[in-house]
């Protein structure tokens, strides 16, 4: 019997060798992996507090749900246009003008199944093997592998907590080579919560003025979860409009993560290429979700201000709590719903028989010993930090940090 089991396992191993080199080289999303590990522990009866996923803990607002119900009752059930319903694209155009002072026409908008697909479309449409794509660290977990999947080479610009995890114009200038094709960044940033000011974006755009061959992906999915005041889009600066693909969606600000709607505003030739790519992969996004998003985007952002206000209160709470832990060094995030503390103070230390050599060890220590799920900064290009989401109740945040403090102090 043991011989048959061994033989069967060997066959399975040989079968796995037939997987493509592409998938073998592709990393597993660390945010999803940690969330899966937390669910596994919960299923075993352990009281894990999950602070690893970037998902609002609010319900989708009723006025959006009502729009979805109406769409069902109105018998929306057919395939949708590849790049989205015209009515939704018009709502996106109005949103870009209202919130970002950006003018687009219908041919420049592509609606996708989440902003992640928007990013994948862009990479597949613009990146050739060997092209370099600059990523200021820390960056969203999937940027690097989406770029690699399409033959690109991620080029990291290291930042520190002392620079608020933001690159300067000089940092960008030093990273540019003859092979640089694109710059990808997010503001507000996932995972650091840092927000580029208008002056900082202007400085970056001035550097790019000398390099007209470089295109920019500006990921603005956390645009409305911004505690610093007005949001700025790099596409509005120094002739950057014709070189910038602005990515956005409804997952974060409208608490619609499972509805899976993202979109881009881009130069026409880029948008049409993304439309062509999407047409061969998923085609159009979900019909009911699209109808609901029309209603979401037509409303004034003040309609969701209650969520932003609550996130700001939670940010202040968790910063106060984390600053009481020796060895946790935090910046003050001005957007999104994460803190990204530097925990390198603990590297090389052994606590309760668990040796912490890096951020991955720290995340695993907190999960196993404190039953708090976080994400290693390695996944975001910064090996000294961990990401903690405060998209959780205040009671959960207090309990989570109490557990962490008890184990570390």
Domain boundaries, the chain: 2-59+304-408, 80-302
Q: Which residues of 113-133 are buried (b: 16+ CB within 10 A; e: fewer)?
A: bbbbbbbbbbbbbbbeeebbb
Q: Which residues of 50-74 are buried (b: 16+ CB within 10 A; e: fewer)?
A: bbbbbbbbeebbeebeebbeebeee
Predicted confidence (pLDDT) per residue in 111-146, tens digit: 999 999 999 999 999 999 999 999 999 999 999 999
How close are the terminal C-alpha atoms of the chain, in Å?
Answer: 51
pLDDT band at 339 (very low <50, low <70, confident <90, very high): very high
Predicted confidence (pLDDT) per residue in 367-376, tens digit: 999 999 999 9
How are beta strands 262-265 and 109-112 bridged, if at all?
A: antiparallel
Rg value, the chain, Cα: 22
pLDDT at site 203: 97
pLDDT at site 4: 64
Topology at the third CATH level for domain 80-302 = 3.40.640
- Per the model's pLDDT, the better-predicted residue between 6 and 39 turns out to be 39
| pTM > 0.85: yes or no | yes
Q: What CATH architecture does domain 2-59+304-408 belong to?
A: Alpha-Beta Complex (3.90)
Main-chain phi, psi angles of 261, to 5 degrees: -130, 120
Closest CA to 310 of 340, 339, 337: 337
Predicted confidence (pLDDT) per residue in 244-275, tens digit: 999 999 999 999 999 999 999 999 999 999 99
């Amino acid at each position: 019997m043991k011989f048959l089991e061994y033989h069967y396992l060997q066959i399975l191993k040989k079968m796995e060798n037939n997987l493509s080199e592409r998938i073998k080289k592709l990393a597993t999303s660390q945010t999803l992996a940690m969330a899966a590990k937390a669910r596994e522990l919960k299923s075993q009866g352990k009281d894990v507090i999950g602070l690893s996923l970037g998902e609002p803990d609010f319900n989708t607002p009723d006025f959006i749900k009502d729009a979805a119900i109406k769409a069902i009752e109105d018998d929306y059930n057919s395939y949708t246009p590849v790049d989205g319903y015209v009515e939704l694209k018009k709502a996106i155009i109005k949103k870009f003008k209202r919130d970002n002072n950006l003018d687009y026409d219908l041919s420049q908008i592509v609606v996708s199944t989440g902003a992640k697909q928007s990013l994948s479309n862009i990479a597949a449409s613009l990146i050739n093997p060997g092209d370099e794509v600059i990523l200021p660290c820390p960056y969203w977990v999937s940027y690097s592998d989406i770029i690699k999947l399409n033959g690109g080479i991620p080029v990291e610009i290291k930042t520190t907590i002392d620079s608020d995890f933001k690159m300067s114009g000089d940092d960008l200038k030093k990273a540019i080579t003859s092979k640089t094709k694109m710059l990808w960044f997010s503001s507000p940033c996932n995972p650091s919560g840092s927000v580029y000011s208008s002056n900082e974006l202007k400085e970056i755009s001035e550097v790019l003025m000398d390099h007209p061959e470089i295109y920019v992906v500006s990921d603005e999915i956390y645009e409305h979860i911004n505690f610093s005041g007005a949001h700025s889009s790099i596409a509005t600066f120094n002739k950057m409009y014709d070189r910038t693909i602005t990515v956005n969606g409804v997952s974060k600000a409208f608490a619609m993560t499972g509805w899976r709607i993202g979109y881009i505003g881009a130069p026409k030739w880029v948008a049409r290429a993304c439309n062509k790519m999407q047409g061969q992969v998923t085609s159009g996004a979900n019909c009911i979700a699209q109808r609901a998003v029309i209603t979401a985007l037509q409303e004034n952002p003040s309609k969701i201000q209650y969520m932003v206000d609550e996130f700001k209160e939670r940010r202040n709470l968790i910063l106060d709590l984390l600053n009481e832990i020796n060895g946790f060094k935090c910046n003050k995030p001005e957007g999104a719903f994460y803190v990204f503390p530097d925990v390198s103070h603990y590297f090389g230390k052994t606590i309760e028989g668990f040796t912490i050599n890096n951020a991955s060890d720290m995340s695993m220590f907190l999960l196993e010993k404190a039953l708090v799920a976080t994400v290693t900064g390695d996944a975001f290009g910064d090996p000294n930090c961990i990401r903690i989401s405060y998209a959780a109740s205040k009671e959960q945040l207090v309990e989570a940090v109490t557990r962490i403090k008890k184990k570390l102090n």
